[in-house]
Structure 1
Amino acid sequence: LVTLHRSFLTAGKQLLEAYEKDDEVNAEQLEERLERIERQLQPAWALFELTLELQKAQEQKNSAAVKELRNEIAALRGTHNAPPDGADSASEKMPAPVTITEADRMAVAQLDFQEAIFPLLKLHCVRCHGNESQEGDLDLEKAATELPLVRNTRLWTSVAEHTKNRVMPPEDENQPSDPERRTIAAWLESEIANFDYTKVDDPGYEPARRLTHQEYSNTVRDLLGIPLRVTDKFPIDLSGTSGFDNSANTLFVQPLLLERYLAAADEVVRQALPETIVTPEQQQAWQRVFFTSSDVAGSEYSAASQILSRYLSRAYRRPVDPQELTQALKQYRRARQSGDSFARSIKNVIRASLISPKFLMKFEATRTSDQAYPVNDWELANRLAYFLWASMPDDELFRLAKTGTLSNPDVLTEQVNRMLAQPGANTLGTIFAAQWLGFQHLGTRVRADPIDNPWCTDSLMAAMKSESAMFFTSLIRDNQPLQRLVNAQYTYLNEELANHYQLPGIKGNEMRRVALSTVNRGGIFTQGSLLAVTSFPGRTSPVIRGKWILEDVLGTPPPPPPPNVSEFSDEIDRRRSLTRRQKLELHRQQPNCYACHSQIDPLGFSLENYDWFGRFKRRHRRRQIDATGQLPDGTRFTGPAGLKTVVVEKRMDDLTRQLTKKMLAYALGRQLEYYDELAVRQIIARLTSDQHRFRTLIHAIVQSYPFRYKKNREAQTATLSPKQP
């Protein structure tokens, strides 16, 4: 061991000298030599550590530990760097998935679900996933009654995939024959793929919902022209079923939030429109509100009417009706008669408007109709602004809404391009991407700790979040293809983040675009913010990272784990000489664990070169990191470069579909339903026709049926009707 260690140090010193001399040939030979020595060092170190443990166990007369350690030493001496007993690829031991042919699809074309398919599911699946035993919260008996089956597309697609790939039923359950597997999978796949969504005329219902806290802040800023921090004490916004905090099903007004709105209204008026103007921003806010005076308007009342008419139309984000203006003027007049100044009387009305549901909520008008109908131009302006800017419409959108021309498709296209060039579109990175991918949790769930990670600063975490947000926004502004999300060869760095990544030559605190020459950086899988939020504090987690890729990035979540399952069995966990990867490989061989881990682990293993905070490393505890992975279909890949290739070459359809569904849900402010599937497919078709470019995605969403139409709630029963407009 000492000899090997000395050889390793000598070769390392020679390699550094070769680097300094730019001696590439010698450096390459020395790198190969170091790898050979390291392959010898790994079992030597492991044997050394196990021998020390064995001596300790013998001194303590722990016969069970002595026996186990002797077995491990014998196995290690016999296999060197081979995986431990049974830890070779579990997928190689599993039978091959069944293949669905066109003949299978034709054979099931005339079968009835209740008569031919559900009996097979009842025989093989319902015992664990039925009314009485809902393992994994899955009740197939209940789901079978929710027709059409496409109402639960994800569930039935998962059933088909697990049946084909022999993931389910578990090995210890009654197994369907291969013909039965083909029948189940072929029928479900055909039913989902061939369902005629054009018969479902339902763009969805637009419920009234309040502004998110970020939307509130942005709207106040754009309404008065001054950025203010007044939402810090608001109760936290929750993510809805869509995965975003702008989902209508979570945006209710709690009593505590109502109290905070009252305090915030006072604070907004106090800071933006003070009695004594101190800052240029306050001067701008004052001029924006008090744009006229009694001298110009002819009288105080006329000036108040003009000021409040303009202000309330912008605050309510639609034309103010005469009755609303009359009520506001009455409030102004009462304040004036009580002795308040002209300005203070106007500010009383502004303060009241900021706690009005007409400001705090997003309402849309309804028609007396049981059919779908288009949103009006004012509503379209609001949908567009809160989608792309997370804020209120600007004067240009208001002007087009007033003239009734915004709904013209060509005008809408022009406005989207204009809006994407504005700073407000940065919210697609700071809000949409942050909530979709999860990096908004950096700084909350993942925090700096002066003891465990003193090198981690608030400024470093801010830079990591900015990297991901700026990167995503650049993909849209530059109209890049969706695959650049994964394999872009640039990122955004400042000096602190570049040092964290060990990338030289970046100076200063300003974030800037940096071209990359290494495959170890570039794309979302290598960004520190996302690597940190998919790790445990202090160590990586291939399981969390792999699940994040499958579920959040690709939209193909693995099956839920069995109830009460632990990370490792006690038997596996006691084997201290094993790496975490080796333990996971053993864990994966258990019948109840293979279904999940055969899909999750290979993806997570490929990112093991990144520590829990995104720093790249080749070794862990003196061992070379194994970043190889093998998918259930036999595809092998290594490291981040291999992962990027696998996703781009094999999973781009999944990534495209997931991004489309996520962005459409964010744009609509609600969870997608089965009747949105046609819109999703139409958007993807448009993407495919234009090289899967980001701006095409946004244009297609804005022009889509659910974005431009709506249906009354009482009529929202997925009425079968002719093809959509």
Structure 2
Amino acid sequence: MGLLIRKPQPILILLFLFMTFHDLVKIMADELSGVTLIKNFCLDCHDGETQKGEINLKAALGSEPLVKNLDLWKTVINRIENGDMPPKKNDQPSYSEKKALLKWLDREVVQFDYSSIDDPGYEQARRLTHIEFSNTLRDLLGLNMNLVEDFPIDLSGKSGFDNSANTLFLQPILMERYLGAIDKAVEASVPLEGNTIEKSPVLIVWPSNKEEELEAAGKIINRFLLRAFRRPPTNREVNEVSAVYNRSREKNEPFAIGIRRALGAALVSPVFLLKSEQVKETNESYQVDEFELASRLSYFLWASMPDDELFRMALEKRLAKPDEFARQVVRMLADSKSDALGNVFAAQWLGFDALGVRVRLDPIDNPWCTDTLMTAMKQESAMGFTSLVRKNKPLSDLIQSKTTYVNEELAKFYKLKGVKGNEMRLVAHTDKRRYGLFGQASVLAVTSSPYRTSPIRRGEWILDSLLGTPPPPPPPDAGELDEDIEENRKLTFRQKLEMHSKNPRCYSCHREMDPLGFSLENYDWFGRWRSESRGRSIDSKGRLPSGTEFEGPIGLRDVIVGEKLDDLARQITRKMLSYALGRQLEYYDVPAVRKILKVFKEDNYRLQTLLREVCSSYPFKYRKNPENAELVERKILSDND
């Protein structure tokens, strides 16, 4: 007996079609309602002409999907929920209108479906950062010289890092510095006599007579261009650089001078000074080639050029193979050049790179605060981070590590005994209050105001930089402390701030920031421990909006590891990927972040897992041309000519 298959009843088909149509109409109505409500209640202040607070919601509405401006719309949601938008003096939406608007924004922004997004992004041409330039010359020429000490400071881009392509252009004043540095470097690396070639990565041969010079020059130039350009040179490039050598020899200049001139010509080429990739004519995503992948790896993990093994793997077309690629990542992390992850990535993420540069004390009034002390403070944080990576420690150790790196001067600052000499070395803390990041003077100093602590700044730093959960911007009329409160000397700063925070418009921000910041109040404005401030005992107790109560840096550590570790992991994942790509993350990077984070969490947030997954991620290995990609590249290259 066969199966009996009942035909669907016409009424059921009609009901299904009606429900589908009804749902579609409802979604369209919700969308229309959301857009209409934004237009009715927000554009008076935030259209293309007014742009109050530099916010143009009219333009943001026209940029679809809305998550292209994710941070902006999150701020809008927060302001609407808190009653800050629209301003009280303006017409207000009804309860049902406000509810409908928030529901629409939740669907379009918070609950957006990223599964349809397939875009690894685009790494545009950019110049090397000063650190990358210096490190590259070091590894290319075998030098140990500071060639960038008089260079202007690289500015951070939107990503928070100085390797962001949107800030790295070649200005005329910078070209002058490049020329001077390159002249010094080439002169130091090519002696007039070839008696040191066994130590040189450049002079792989040296002619014993005049007949051998042309062949020797060819070998030197060809190998040098491969390494300097981070890819095989074209015939034209080889001929142009060789012509510089030939003209020198025609003037009867010595062989070494000819080589110097040839290498100098290569080093002032945009191919060396810029980090650029080949644009393929396609609208689809495509994998970067082996040499581009080698450069992405080396400038991410080392802030420098690929080494000979990476070049060899690229030449043999083996680097992109998963097993070999994973092996190279492990090898590179074990190399001392991966110190750049602490000296550059961690320093710029956590902000301690500002110590001694933008944050420093008057040496006359503070003779104890020497340049060597500030250098040691930065080294402590950088070496600590790099050590966690090399030892593949879990992320929680960043917050609660019992060991640190000090030299004699920094040990005295921390009142640690038994440390002699200027060399930084690993020691165990004897004071639990100094465990982990929150006990490090570098971050405590850069999150303070001059000569006084700033619980607000420290709290905001924890929420924003460390956890990636920044408080909403203060409402336009939040203002400073009330004058009567400010001048009341009977009140501690904490009491003054608590009175200020009772204002409902200020409470939503301060209830998050203040408990975190005040937990570090026992550290003064340069990270020294204290029990009192201006003759009064310090109150370092805090209570989070969740109800969790804690006290001091020990309690803060417990809160971060116990309740906020997922936030910290998400933030370091986003920051690490952004640093690796040399650009600000966009909405289309969300799937990659989520995939990395999933594997990271499954391995107890071990740091080498994070780095391996970032290196293996879709946006790290692929790229997709934006519209008019060739025009974009040509403009960038012409701007840098």
Mark yes or no: TM-score above 0.5.
yes
**Deviations, residues 159-218 of structure 1 (Å, cap 9, x unaligned):** 444555667667787777776665544543443454332322211112111111100000
**More displaced, 152-161 or 522-531?**
152-161
What is the match of residue 586 of structure 1? 499
Classify 1:180/1:477 alpha carbon distance in 2 versus 1 (closer, same or farther; 3 Å): farther
**1:610 aligned to 2:523?**
yes
Counterpart AA for 1:604: G
2:269 maps to which of 348, 356, 379: 356
Classify 1:430/1:684 alpha carbon distance in 2 versus 1 (closer, same or farther; 3 Å): same
2:192 maps to which of 265, 275, 299: 275
**1:374 aligned to 2:287?**
yes
> How do residues 528-567 of structure 1 correspond to structure 2 at under 5 angstroms?
528-563=441-476, 566-567=479-480
Q: Is the 8 A contact 2:43 2:57 kept in 1?
A: yes
Q: Is the 8 A contact 1:476 1:695 kept in 2?
A: yes
Aligned partners of 1:630 and 1:122: how far apart in 2? 39
Report the alpha carbon displacement of residue 228 of structure 1 after superposing the two structures with TM: 1.5
Counterpart AA for 2:204: F
What is the match of residue 426 of structure 1? 339
Report the alpha carbon displacement of residue 579 of structure 1 after superposing the two structures with TM: 1.0
What is the match of residue 7 of structure 2? none
Classify 1:131/1:530 alpha carbon distance in 2 versus 1 (closer, same or farther; 3 Å): same
Counterpart AA for 1:548: W
**Deviations, residues 511-530 of structure 1 (Å, cap 9, x unaligned):** 22222343311222221000
Aligned partners of 2:594 and 2:264: how far apart in 1? 46
Report the alpha carbon displacement of residue 508 of structure 1 after superposing the two structures with TM: 2.9
SS of aligned partner of 2:627? helix
Report the alpha carbon displacement of residue 458 of structure 1 after superposing the two structures with TM: 1.2
Q: Is the 8 A contact 1:170 1:591 kept in 2?
A: no
1:577 maps to which of 484, 490, 511: 490
What is the match of residue 495 of structure 1? 408
**Deviations, residues 247-299 of structure 1 (Å, cap 9, x unaligned):** 1111100110111112222111223334379xxxx936873322213359973
What is the match of residue 229 of structure 1? 146
Report the alpha carbon displacement of residue 701 of structure 1 after superposing the two structures with TM: 0.7
> How do residues 431-470 of structure 1 correspond to structure 2 at under 5 angstroms?
431-470=344-383
What is the match of residue 224 of structure 2? 311
Q: Is the 8 A contact 1:198 1:678 kept in 2?
A: yes
Counterpart AA for 2:409: E
Counterpart AA for 2:459: G
Classify 1:616/1:127 alpha carbon distance in 2 versus 1 (closer, same or farther; 3 Å): farther
Q: Is the 8 A contact 1:531 1:614 kept in 2?
A: yes
Counterpart AA for 1:258: M
Report the alpha carbon displacement of residue 113 of structure 1 after superposing the two structures with TM: 5.1
2:73 maps to which of 149, 156, 161: 156
5+ residue gaps, structure 2, are 1-22, 631-641
Aligned partners of 2:25 and 2:89: how far apart in 1? 28
What is the match of residue 634 of structure 2? none
Counterpart AA for 1:235: P
**1:332 aligned to 2:249?**
no
1:482 maps to which of 359, 371, 395: 395
Report the alpha carbon displacement of residue 713 of structure 1 after superposing the two structures with TM: 2.9
What is the match of residue 157 of structure 2? 240
> How do residues 504-519 of structure 1 correspond to structure 2 at under 5 angstroms?
504-519=417-432
**More displaced, 456-465 or 649-658?**
649-658
Aligned partners of 1:653 and 1:136: how far apart in 2? 32
Aligned partners of 1:387 and 1:108: how far apart in 2? 49
Counterpart AA for 2:450: P
What is the match of residue 672 of structure 1? 585
Residues matched between the structures, number: 608
Q: Is the 8 A contact 1:136 1:561 kept in 2?
A: no
SS of aligned partner of 1:613? coil
**Deviations, residues 33-64 of structure 1 (Å, cap 9, x unaligned):** xxxxxxxxxxxxxxxxxxxxxxxxxxxxxxxx
SS of aligned partner of 1:294? coil
2:315 maps to which of 394, 402, 406: 402
**Deviations, residues 90-136 of structure 1 (Å, cap 9, x unaligned):** xxxxxxxxxxxxxxxx9999475542334555666556555565444
**More displaced, 701-710 or 283-292?**
283-292
**1:601 aligned to 2:514?**
yes
Q: Is the 8 A contact 1:489 1:522 kept in 2?
A: yes
What is the match of residue 84 of structure 1? none
Aligned partners of 1:661 and 1:283: how far apart in 2? 46
Counterpart AA for 2:108: E
Aligned partners of 2:204 and 2:231: how far apart in 1? 19
What is the match of residue 302 of structure 1? 215
Counterpart AA for 2:136: T
1:262 maps to which of 179, 194, 206: 179
What is the match of residue 144 of structure 1? 61
Aligned partners of 2:133 and 2:157: how far apart in 1? 18
2:611 maps to which of 694, 698, 703: 698
Q: Is the 8 A contact 1:136 1:562 kept in 2?
A: no
Classify 1:212/1:426 alpha carbon distance in 2 versus 1 (closer, same or farther; 3 Å): same
Q: Is the 8 A contact 1:273 1:286 kept in 2?
A: no
Classify 1:284/1:306 alpha carbon distance in 2 versus 1 (closer, same or farther; 3 Å): closer
> How do residues 54-73 of structure 1 correspond to structure 2 at under 5 angstroms?
none
2:329 maps to which of 416, 435, 444: 416
Classify 1:112/1:526 alpha carbon distance in 2 versus 1 (closer, same or farther; 3 Å): farther
Classify 1:113/1:485 alpha carbon distance in 2 versus 1 (closer, same or farther; 3 Å): farther
Q: Is the 8 A contact 2:411 2:419 kept in 1?
A: yes
Report the alpha carbon displacement of residue 509 of structure 1 after superposing the two structures with TM: 2.4
Aligned partners of 2:117 and 2:553: how far apart in 1? 42
1:320 maps to which of 226, 230, 233: 233
Aligned partners of 2:628 and 2:174: how far apart in 1? 32
Q: Is the 8 A contact 2:285 2:622 kept in 1?
A: yes
1:650 maps to which of 563, 581, 590: 563
Identity, in percent, stands at 52
Aligned partners of 1:131 and 1:168: how far apart in 2? 18
Aligned partners of 1:233 and 1:522: how far apart in 2? 36
Counterpart AA for 2:622: Y
What is the match of residue 117 of structure 2? 200
SS of aligned partner of 1:219? helix
Bigger radius of gyration: 1
Classify 1:236/1:515 alpha carbon distance in 2 versus 1 (closer, same or farther; 3 Å): same
Counterpart AA for 1:544: R
Classify 1:392/1:470 alpha carbon distance in 2 versus 1 (closer, same or farther; 3 Å): same
- Relative to the length of structure 1, the TM-score reads 0.79
Classify 1:376/1:451 alpha carbon distance in 2 versus 1 (closer, same or farther; 3 Å): same
Aligned partners of 1:353 and 1:524: how far apart in 2? 43
Counterpart AA for 1:655: L
Q: Is the 8 A contact 1:215 1:386 kept in 2?
A: yes
SS of aligned partner of 2:542? strand
Report the alpha carbon displacement of residue 631 of structure 1 after superposing the two structures with TM: 2.8
Classify 1:476/1:631 alpha carbon distance in 2 versus 1 (closer, same or farther; 3 Å): same
5+ residue gaps, structure 1, are 1-105, 718-725
What is the match of residue 623 of structure 2? 710
What is the match of residue 137 of structure 2? 220
Q: Is the 8 A contact 1:535 1:544 kept in 2?
A: yes
Report the alpha carbon displacement of residue 445 of structure 1 after superposing the two structures with TM: 1.5
SS of aligned partner of 1:685? helix
**More displaced, 328-337 or 293-302?**
293-302
Q: Is the 8 A contact 1:131 1:139 kept in 2?
A: yes
**More displaced, 430-439 or 130-139?**
130-139
What is the match of residue 11 of structure 2? none
What is the match of residue 552 of structure 2? 639
Aligned partners of 1:711 and 1:482: how far apart in 2? 32
**Deviations, residues 495-546 of structure 1 (Å, cap 9, x unaligned):** 2212212233333322222223433112222210001011111100011111
What is the match of residue 258 of structure 2? 345
- Relative to the length of structure 2, the TM-score reads 0.88
Counterpart AA for 1:207: Q
